[in-house]
Amino acid sequence: MRRIPILAASTIAGLAGVIGFHSSRSTTLKSLLASQAAAGGRTTPKTHGGRSPSGSSLPSGSTSRASAGSLSATGALEQYGYGRLAVRVTVSSRRITAVSVPDIQVADSYSGSIASQVIPMLRSQVLSAQSARINGVSGATYTSEAYAMSLQSALDKLHFK
């Protein structure tokens, strides 16, 4: 009985410790992906054009003209088994020069960690294939399919063949 105060006080201390430590340094999937995209070179320009995309559920989805001769578009937000994602692509002189994932939500942390491993691989596959016809990553079939479909819808907006 006399140990109940000890238990209560130390429980609160442990709880406060973890929450305090967490808020001082926290990483999320989005910031992880953003940092990887930044490390990957060109990030997509933030400017948005006025043209509303057709067939996309993403309200902010748009094409935009960034620097001279380069066009960007964000594809449809694709639902897949473990979350949803949208791919943004930049095309310059008939070449895909940049791919990123500005919007991703995953159901759980494990799927998130899979996504953060897989998306850079998919990105390099797209850059080398120069199309949405990619092999995908085995073990992450749903993510790969969603990525390819969203990418294709972005490319369609840019009339990229």
Partner 1 sequence: MATEHNTAVAVTFDPSLGVDRRGTKRSVRPEPLPDKPPRPWVVDLAAGIAGIGLGATTGLAFTAETHSELVATGGIWMFAGNLTALVGTYLALVMVLLVSRIPAIEHAVGQDRLIRWHRMLAPWPLTLITLHVVMTTIGYAQAAKAGFMHQVGTFIKSYPDMLTAIIGFALMAAIGLVSIRAVRQRIPREAWWTIHLWMYMALALAFMHQIALGPSFVGHPLARAVWSLAWLASAGVVLAYRVGLPIWRSFRYRLRVVAVQQEAPGVVSVICSGRNLDRLRVSGGQFMLWRFLAHGIWWQAHPYSLSALPQPSYVRLTVKDAGDHSRAMADLAPGTRVMIEGPYGAFTKHSQRRRRAALIAGGIGVTALRSLLEDMPGGSGGARPVVIVRASRPEDIVFRDELAALVKHRRGALHEIIGRRSEVALDEATLSSLVPDITGRDVYVCGPEGFVHSVTGALRHLGVPRELVHHEAFSL
Q: How far is CA 99 from CA 34, 64, 110, in A?
A: 12, 14, 23
Nearer to partner 1, 19 or 129 (CB): 19
Identify which range of 20-28, 89-97, 130-138, 145-153 contacts partner 1 by CB under 8 A: 20-28
Residue 130 lies near partner 1 (rule: CB under 8 A): no
Where helices occur in the chain by DSSP H, the ranges are: 4-24, 29-39, 109-129, 141-157
Residue 32 lies near partner 1 (rule: CB under 8 A): yes
Candidates 38, 48, 57, 110; binder of partner 1 (CB under 8 A) is 110
State the nearest-atom distance from the C-beta of 147 to partner 1, in Å: 17
State the nearest-atom distance from the C-beta of 54 to partner 1, in Å: 25
State the nearest-atom distance from the C-beta of 64 to partner 1, in Å: 25
DSSP 3-state assignment of 75? coil
State the nearest-atom distance from the C-beta of 28 to partner 1, in Å: 5
Please tell me what DSSP assigns to residue 131: S
Nearer to partner 1, 89 or 106 (CB): 106
Strands 95-106 and 70-74: unpaired
CB atoms within 10 A of CB 71: 17
Residue 35 lies near partner 1 (rule: CB under 8 A): no
Residue 57 lies near partner 1 (rule: CB under 8 A): no
Who's near 49: CB < 8 A, 6+ residues apart? Answer: 62, 63, 64, 65
What's the CA gap between 24 and 136, in Å, rounded?
37
Identify which range of 14-22, 40-48, 63-71, 146-154 contacts partner 1 by CB under 8 A: 14-22
